[in-house]
Structures are given as structure tokens and as C-alpha cells.
């Protein structure tokens, strides 16, 4: 896809530990609402389009930048491109969006945005990611869908 | 105040339903969506049923459907970069023409009041005007490249061959034929994000628009020499935003329809709601007030993409959604 890497030597961050399962969560009759950590667990394993690393390892996604309002059915994810001119920003945002579209109940309204101040074209990328018509059209593009699916398939990657 | 009563849920589409269109007599409802099909619904006894499914026209999502003013033709716009013209003269719907030329997704299509023109608009930023010849041929009459971004929707004036378009570039533009050439004579700027839909009122001297900025705006036409003293250029009218409806919607507003019978405005938005607005009586046309008279919360379980008034029965409304369903509503004043 690209011959020159945008950011050839990215800083690699340590992963958060596994989710701690509380005794309540093991209870069958306790309602287990979807929370920040659960959504973070869905997206932290997404692969970077350029590096054999996860978005979590590149600090593109962080636990603290995922906000779930289970009552209002809202999920807001901010992601931080590794460099301010990252040409992959839209693709990364699209991968996060697709992962959440496929995994979360349809009642959720999902907003995926760039962490404020972390990208030169922040507004343009945010507008594109928020336009569901353009997202739908992009996902009918078989080549693009293949690239997104590769990012979403961590098992085939050496993470 | 007014209320919406759900009359029926029409199921059948296998993906999100993007758009709806009533035929001019209000007896048929066309729908289209992500499953690449067009469905035609009609009333049998007391219930609405699917009469026909048109499957062989498009290779990708069908984004919009539009009936000709005579009701004999249906046009469809698709992400496959083409528009199809369907004729029901033989009793069934036959695809009689495919309009090709746009570089990528066609977002909207519509017929002029005279029946002489069809307009299409696309992600390629252009609006095309097609001339309909006597022997049902369609020739490109003009390619309009005034917008700087993805053109979302077009709509024709109710009485003249004047076209309005709206875009991802946050503007609305108006076009008309001038010395055999189509030109943009007005650009309406005020929305802060993508303008998804525009619709004329019954007089054609007002427009309503809705946007990703979660605001609905009413625009008024001012002709040259108007007594209000609004500046115009040459013999072109000027359009001014005279009313802003903000604070009512929680997410993007995808569709707005202004009833030519009742004067009610309906909006369809990503907060799953359908809202109905009414102009307050005795308003100054230069500063009208519109109030929210009805709000159907959870009208659908996902984004509402379109809501359209029946052109003959003022109380009938249809809506469609990402949830794959179409609903028919009875609207009544309390």
C-alpha cells in the first residue's frame, strides 16, 4: 500500500493488564452493563495499518479516552495518531468504527474522533468519520474493506 | 400540539433503508436501501404491502428514489455511479435508461416540474442536468461544478425549472437555465456542517434545510426591487436565512420535508426521532417563528434517514431507518 512508512520508529507502549473479573460479573443474575473497559478491550487489539503492533501498543487508543454512557446509548472514542501528519488517521478511525459497528448492540450511537490537538487535519478526518453515508460507501469498496479487515484480524498478525 | 400514531411497519429490506418517495397520487410508496433493491409498496384493503421488488438495476446501495411529476416514471440513484429510469407504462416497472457519467457515488436524483429535466448529484462534487427528449432519451445538458465537496441532495422548485442542491461543503446552491446554459445564481451560507437535505414550500419562495450541525433553517426569497430592501444582483433573487431552529435535535438531521398541503415540516434525524414543526400564525415573512408541535421519540430503533408527507392525504407520513424498517404514521392535531 505505502512504500515509505509515515512513522518508521514509533514508540511502543506497554499494554494494560487483563481485565479483572469481579465476583459480581460471574453472577448470572446481575445485569452486566457495557462499560468503558469493555469497549476499550474491543478496540485495543486492532492492528495498526503499518506496523505489526496493536493500537494500544502505539498509544493510539487509551482506556481513559473511551467513554460509554450505557443509559443514553452513547459511545465516544478518541484516538491519537502517532504523528500529527499521519496519513493513516482516517483508516485507523474507520477500523475502530467498523469494529464497534460489528461488536456493539445497534442501539449505541458511536462517535469516533481524533484526540483534540493531535492531528493537522483533525476537523476534516472527524467530519469524514462522522458521515455515515461516506462510511457506508467506503465499506462497499472491496479493497478498502480488505485493508480494514486485516487491521481487525489480530490473530493473523504477529502482535 | 400534534401526535403521530403508528399505522404499520413495513419489513422486507435486508439492510438500512435510505430513502422513500410517494408517487404524485399518494397511492404508492417507493423505498430503497443498502440491499441494492427498490421496493414499491401499496395499500391493499386496509394494509400496506410490498407490490414489487426491483432488483436488477444497481450493483451497489440505492441511495435515493424519485417519481416523475406524471407518476409514470421512477428514477433511482446509486452508489454504483449510475441512475436508472424505470417506466411503469407497461404495467410493470422496466428499466428504460441508465444515466452514466458521474465519477463515483450518485447521492440524489429528481425531476423538474416541467418534466423536461432530471438532475443528479454525486460524491464527485458535481450536479448534472439531463434533458429528457421526446423519445425518452436522456442527454446531459450541463455539468455544474460549483460545489467544492460531495453533493448530498438536490430538489426542484415546485413551479419553475429551478434547482436547489446541498453539500458536504456546508452550502446550498440554486441553479437555473440562463441563455441555454445552467448557472448557479445563489449560494446560501450559514450552516456550520454538511447540509443533508433541502425542500421548497408550496409557493417555492421559501426553502427549509437541515444539517449535521443539528439545525434546521428557513430561507426566504427576495426578488429584485423587493420592498424590504434586500440587495439582489442583476435579475436574480437573493435568498436569506430568516429563521433558525436550534436546540431541538440531538444528532445529525438527515431529512426534512415541508408539506405542500398542511404546511407542516417534518425532520428525520440520527437521534431516532421524528419531529414536526409548524409556523406560528400571523408571522412576518421576514422573521417567521416555527414551533415544535410533535416529537415521536424512538420512532425507530436506529437513525431515521427519511420522513415524507403523503402528497394527497395530509395526515399520512412515512419514515425509514437504519433499522431496516419503514413505518407509516397517522399525523393529527390535538
> What's the pLDDT tens digit per position in A141-153?
999 999 999 999 8
Query: Does A24 lie at the interface with B, CB-CB under 8 angstroms?
Result: no
Across the interface, do A136 and B61 touch by the CB < 8 Å criterion? yes
> What pTM did the predictor assign?
0.94
Q: In angstroms, what separates the C-alpha of B301 from chain A's closest C-alpha?
A: 7
Q: Residue A73, exposed/middle/buried by CB under 10 A (0-12, 13-18, 19+)?
A: middle
Which whole-number Å values give the CA distances from A131 to A69, A97, A112, B2, B217, in the listed order? 21, 11, 11, 31, 20
Across the interface, do A133 and B63 touch by the CB < 8 Å criterion? yes
pLDDT in tens, B164-223: 999 999 999 999 998 889 999 999 999 999 999 999 999 999 999 999 999 999 999 999
Q: How many CA atoms lie within 13 A of B261 on its CB side?
A: 13
Instruction: Closest CB to A109: pick one of B34, B150, B251.
Output: B251
Percent of residues, chain B, with pLDDT higher than 90: 95
Give the separation between CA B207 and CA B226, rounded to whole angstroms. 18
Mean pLDDT of A70-97: 96
The answer for B 89-108 residues in CB contact with A (under 8 A) is 104-105, 107
Nine cell digits for residue A69: 454512557
Low-confidence winner among A29-38, A60-69, B79-88 (lowest mean pLDDT): A29-38
Mean pLDDT of A86-91: 95
Across the interface, do A109 and B270 touch by the CB < 8 Å criterion? yes
Across the interface, do B61 and A140 touch by the CB < 8 Å criterion? yes
Contact list in A for residue B270 (CB cut-off 8 A) is: 109, 132
Q: In this predicted structure, what is the pLDDT of residue A159?
A: 44
Q: In this predicted structure, what is the pLDDT of residue A2?
A: 44
Query: Does A72 lie at the interface with B, CB-CB under 8 angstroms?
Result: no
Which whole-number Å values give the CA distances from A43 to A17, B20, B222, B267, B283, in the listed order? 15, 35, 53, 34, 52
Examine the pLDDT at A154 and tell me if it is beyond 70.
Answer: no
Contact list in A for residue B16 (CB cut-off 8 A) is: 136
Amino acid at each position: 500500500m505505502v512504500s515509505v512508512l509515515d512513522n518508521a520508529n514509533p514508540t511502543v507502549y506497554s499494554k494494560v493488564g487483563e481485565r479483572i473479573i469481579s465476583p459480581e460479573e460471574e453472577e448470572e443474575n446481575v445485569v452486566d452493563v457495557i462499560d468503558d473497559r469493555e469497549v476499550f478491550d474491543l478496540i485495543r487489539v486492532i492492528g495498526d495499518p503499518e506496523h505489526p503492533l496493536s493500537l494500544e501498543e502505539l498509544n493510539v487508543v487509551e482506556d481513559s479516552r473511551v467513554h460509554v454512557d450505557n443509559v443514553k446509548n452513547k459511545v465516544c472514542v478518541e484516538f491519537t495518531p502517532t504523528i500529527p501528519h499521519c496519513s493513516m488517521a482516517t483508516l485507523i478511525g474507520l477500523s475502530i468504527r467498523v469494529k464497534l459497528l460489528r461488536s456493539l448492540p445497534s442501539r449505541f450511537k458511536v462517535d469516533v474522533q481524533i484526540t483534540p490537538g493531535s492531528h493537522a487535519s483533525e476537523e476534516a478526518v472527524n467530519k469524514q468519520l462522522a458521515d455515515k453515508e461516506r462510511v457506508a460507501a467506503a465499506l462497499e469498496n472491496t479493497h478498502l474493506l480488505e485493508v480494514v479487515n486485516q487491521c481487525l484480524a489480530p490473530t493473523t498478525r504477529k502482535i | 400540539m400534534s401526535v403521530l400514531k403508528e399505522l404499520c411497519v413495513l419489513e422486507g429490506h435486508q439492510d438500512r433503508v435510505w430513502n422513500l418517495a410517494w408517487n404524485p397520487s399518494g397511492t404508492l410508496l417507493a423505498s430503497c436501501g443498502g440491499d441494492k433493491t427498490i421496493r414499491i409498496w401499496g395499500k391493499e384493503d386496509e394494509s400496506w404491502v410490498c407490490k414489487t421488488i426491483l432488483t436488477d438495476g444497481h450493483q451497489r446501495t440505492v441511495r435515493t428514489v424519485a417519481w416523475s411529476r406524471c407518476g409514470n416514471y421512477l428514477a433511482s440513484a446509486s452508489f454504483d455511479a449510475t441512475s436508472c429510469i424505470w417506466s411503469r407504462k407497461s404495467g410493470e416497472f422496466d428499466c428504460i435508461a441508465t444515466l452514466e457519467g458521474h465519477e463515483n457515488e450518485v447521492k440524489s436524483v429528481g425531476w423538474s416540474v416541467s418534466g423536461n429535466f432530471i438532475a443528479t448529484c454525486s460524491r464527485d462534487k458535481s450536479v448534472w442536468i439531463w434533458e429528457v427528449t421526446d423519445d425518452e432519451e436522456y442527454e446531459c445538458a450541463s455539468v455544474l461544478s460549483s460545489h467544492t465537496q460531495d453533493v448530498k441532495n438536490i430538489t426542484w422548485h415546485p413551479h419553475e425549472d429551478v434547482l436547489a442542491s446541498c453539500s458536504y461543503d456546508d452550502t446550498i446552491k440554486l441553479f437555473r437555465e440562463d441563455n441555454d446554459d445552467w448557472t448557479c445564481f445563489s449560494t446560501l451560507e450559514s450552516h456550520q456542517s454538511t447540509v443533508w437535505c433541502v425542500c421548497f414550500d408550496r409557493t417555492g419562495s421559501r426553502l427549509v434545510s437541515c444539517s449535521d450541525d443539528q439545525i434546521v433553517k428557513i430561507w426566504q426569497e427576495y426578488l429584485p426591487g423587493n420592498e424590504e430592501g434586500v440587495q439582489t444582483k442583476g435579475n436574480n433573487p437573493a435568498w436569506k436565512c430568516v429563521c433558525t431552529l436550534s436546540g431541538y435535535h440531538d444528532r445529525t438531521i438527515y431529512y426534512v420535508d415541508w408539506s405542500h398541503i398542511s404546511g407542516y415540516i417534518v425532520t428525520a434525524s440520527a437521534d431516532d426521532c421524528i419531529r414536526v414543526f409548524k409556523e406560528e400564525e400571523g408571522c412576518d415573512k421576514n422573521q417567521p417563528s416555527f414551533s415544535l408541535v410533535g416529537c415521536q421519540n424512538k420512532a425507530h430503533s436506529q437513525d431515521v434517514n427519511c420522513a415524507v408527507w403523503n402528497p394527497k392525504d395530509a395526515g399520512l407520513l412515512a419514515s425509514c431507518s437504519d433499522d431496516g424498517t419503514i413505518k407509516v404514521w397517522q399525523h393529527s392535531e390535538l
